[in-house]
């Protein structure tokens, strides 16, 4: 048995407390890792799980990226009541539909996407099972194994997982506080002879950064010059009251725009919308057919009722207010700490000072019962990532607890 483990166990036996020994050992092991007493490869004491035992630690999960619960289950009940009174629509949701969705469903989708400056043409929009499904449909349509995909140097993990499963080569493009840099994109497109780009110009996950109009125009100029095919992710942008026009509106014939209800209303609906020129939509529709024939129509039906009855704007308003409250609280509790945040974006981005590596900071918080995301989660390949963490504001009262564990000694 390793010396450190031996020492810890004798300490635990000496300090008889009410804490079960297995928990004391686990906690001390974690501390020893943080202190550098236990290094990778060191032999540990044998571990076993007690029959029926569950995890002893309950974590405040500030790592997840989910909408803030606004307790408005009533919206679903009201939509069900509306649906139950419309015989024709009930009938429709039980039938096969075209791959792109029923026409009235993509009409609503087209209307939804006009908030990003699109023209609202229903025949340029299809319904998907959330943004993730749209991203999968587009990648499968335009890329083949081994192809190169360009994206921000920190990018959406769901897209990275898809790219891995498709054996794509993903290249991270350098960013500044407005997102992707046009010159870096130009160089990467040329160096890697790449044609496809995935990017989030508005409220980028994880940094919360947004491109100015000038930056969008400069990126669009590179897209045209290098004949790139961009897919724009506007999932978080949906929370904004007046988002800047989507990058896609600057290159409408050679782009895809993806958005969903997930971050502003209900991720469980799995409703997303994809806009593209009709020649591309037909091809993505074939990919959806291969997946599941079509999106289950009941969900887009609810997503159609909500905007029609004004419920959608009401729910988004609740979400905006909840985010604003949490951000105000975070600014108050973490006054003096260098952190970045953006209006209507439910996360903080905390660049860490020299004294912390992101991994050890996150491990220390974890030990104190708080989970946050390091940038490794968003890393493209094995690129070096900034020493920063993303802190989600989605859990009630989580900010107080975070601030409490940060404590004065965590401030810098
Ligand atoms: C940037 C980004 N894009 C897409 C998604 C997926 O959204 P959906 O739930 O609509 O599939 C997420 C979810 O975390 C996200 O953060």
Helix axes 103-113, 298-309, angle to 10 degrees: 50
Domain that holds residue 351: 60-69+313-410
pTM (predicted TM-score): 0.85
CATH code of the domain in which 405 resides: 3.90.1150.10
pLDDT at 1 (0 to 100): 45
Flag residues of the chain having pLDDT under 70. Answer: 1-57, 71-72, 396, 405-412
Q: Which atom of ligand 1 is nearest to the CA of 204?
A: 1
Do 317 and 303 sit in the same domain of this protein? no
Instruction: State the distance from the centre of ligand 1 to the C-alpha of 308, rounded, in angstroms.
Output: 24
> Per residue in 363-378, pLDDT tens?
988 888 889 999 999 9
Q: Which atom of ligand 1 is nearest to the CA of 129?
A: 11
State which of 109, 133, 156 you would mutate to test the pocket of ligand 1, scoring each by most atoms of that ligand within 8 A of its C-beta. Answer: 156
Tell how many helices (H) and how many strands (E) occur in the chain: 14, 14
Do 90 and 232 sit in the same domain of this protein? yes
Do 102 and 209 sit in the same domain of this protein? yes
Q: Pick from 251, 282, 309: which residue ends a domain?
A: 309
Q: Pick from 309, 340, 362: which residue ends a domain?
A: 309
> Rounded to an integer, what distance in angstroms lies between the CA atom of residue 213 and that of residue 276?
21
Q: Which atom of ligand 1 is nearest to the CA of 66?
A: 14
Do 299 and 319 sit in the same domain of this protein? no
pLDDT at 299 (0 to 100): 93
Do 112 and 231 sit in the same domain of this protein? yes
Of the candidates 227, 233, 235, 217, the residue with the CA atom closest to the CA atom of residue 253? 227
Phi-psi region of 123 (alpha: psi -120 to 50; beta: other; left: phi over 0): alpha
> Rounded to an integer, what distance in angstroms lies between the CA atom of residue 411 and that of residue 179?
28
Instruction: State the distance from the centre of ligand 1 to the C-alpha of 371, rounded, in angstroms.
Output: 20
The total number of structural domains in the chain stands at 3
Do 405 and 284 sit in the same domain of this protein? no
Torsions phi, psi of 181, nearest 5?
-90, 130
> Per residue in 225-258, pLDDT tens?
999 999 999 999 999 999 999 999 999 999 999 9
Do 113 and 246 sit in the same domain of this protein? yes
pLDDT at 59 (0 to 100): 85
Q: In this structure, what token pair is assigned to residue 61? A: 């999960």
Q: Pick from 286, 309, 332: which residue ends a domain?
A: 309
Ligand 1: residues within 6 Å at CB? 65, 130-132, 156, 158, 200, 205, 233, 235, 260, 262, 267, 272
Do 19 and 39 sit in the same domain of this protein? yes
Q: In this structure, what token pair is assigned to residue 204? A: 């980028």
Question: Could you say which DSSP state residue 245 is in?
Answer: P
pLDDT at 249 (0 to 100): 97
Instruction: State the distance from the centre of ligand 1 to the C-alpha of 265, rounded, in angstroms.
Output: 12
Of the candidates 349, 376, 379, the residue with the CA atom closest to the CA atom of residue 153? 379
């Amino acid at each position: 048995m390793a010396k450190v483990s031996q020492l810890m166990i004798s300490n635990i036996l000496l300090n008889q407390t009410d804490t079960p020994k297995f928990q004391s050992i686990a906690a001390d092991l974690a501390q020893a890792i943080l202190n550098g007493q236990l290094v990778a490869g060191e032999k540990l004491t044998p571990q076993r799980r007690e029959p029926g035992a569950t995890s002893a630690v309950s974590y405040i999960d500030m790592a997840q990226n989910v909408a803030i619960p606004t307790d408005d289950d009533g919206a679903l009940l009201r939509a069900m009541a509306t649906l139950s009174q419309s015989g024709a629509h009930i009938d429709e949701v039980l039938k096969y539909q075209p791959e792109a969705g029923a026409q009235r469903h993509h009409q609503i989708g087209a209307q939804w996407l006009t908030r990003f400056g699109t023209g609202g043409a229903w025949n340029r929009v299809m319904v998907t099972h959330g943004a993730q499904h749209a991203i999968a449909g587009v990648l499968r349509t335009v890329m083949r194994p081994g192809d190169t995909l360009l994206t921000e140097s920190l990018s959406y993990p769901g897209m990275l997982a898809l790219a891995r499963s498709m054996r794509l080569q993903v290249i991270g493009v350098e960013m500044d506080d407005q997102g992707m840099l046009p010159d870096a994109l130009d160089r990467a497109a040329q160096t890697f002879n790449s044609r496809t780009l995935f990017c989030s110009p508005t409220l980028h996950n994880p940094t919360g950064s947004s491109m100015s109009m000038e930056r969008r125009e400069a990126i669009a100029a590179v897209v045209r010059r290098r004949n790139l095919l961009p897919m724009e992710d506007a999932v978080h942008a949906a929370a904004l009251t007046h988002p800047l026009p989507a990058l896609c509106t600057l290159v409408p014939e050679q782009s895809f725009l993806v958005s969903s209800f997930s971050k502003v209303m209900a991720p469980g609906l799995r409703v997303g919308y994809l806009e593209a020129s009709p020649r591309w939509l037909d091809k993505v529709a074939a990919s959806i057919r291969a997946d599941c024939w079509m999106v289950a129509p009941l969900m887009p039906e609810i997503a159609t009722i909500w905007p029609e009855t004004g419920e959608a704007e009401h729910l988004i308003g609740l979400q905006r207010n909840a985010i604003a409250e949490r951000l105000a609280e975070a600014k108050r509790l973490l006054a003096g700490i260098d952190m970045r945040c953006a209006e209507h974006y439910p996360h903080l981005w905390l660049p860490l000072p020299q004294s912390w590596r992101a991994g050890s900071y996150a491990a220390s918080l974890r030990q104190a019962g708080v989970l946050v995301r390091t940038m490794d989660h968003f890393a493209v390949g094995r690129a070096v990532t900034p020493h920063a963490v993303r802190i989600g504001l989605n859990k009630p009262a989580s900010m107080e607890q975070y601030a409490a564990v940060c404590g004065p000694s965590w401030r810098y």
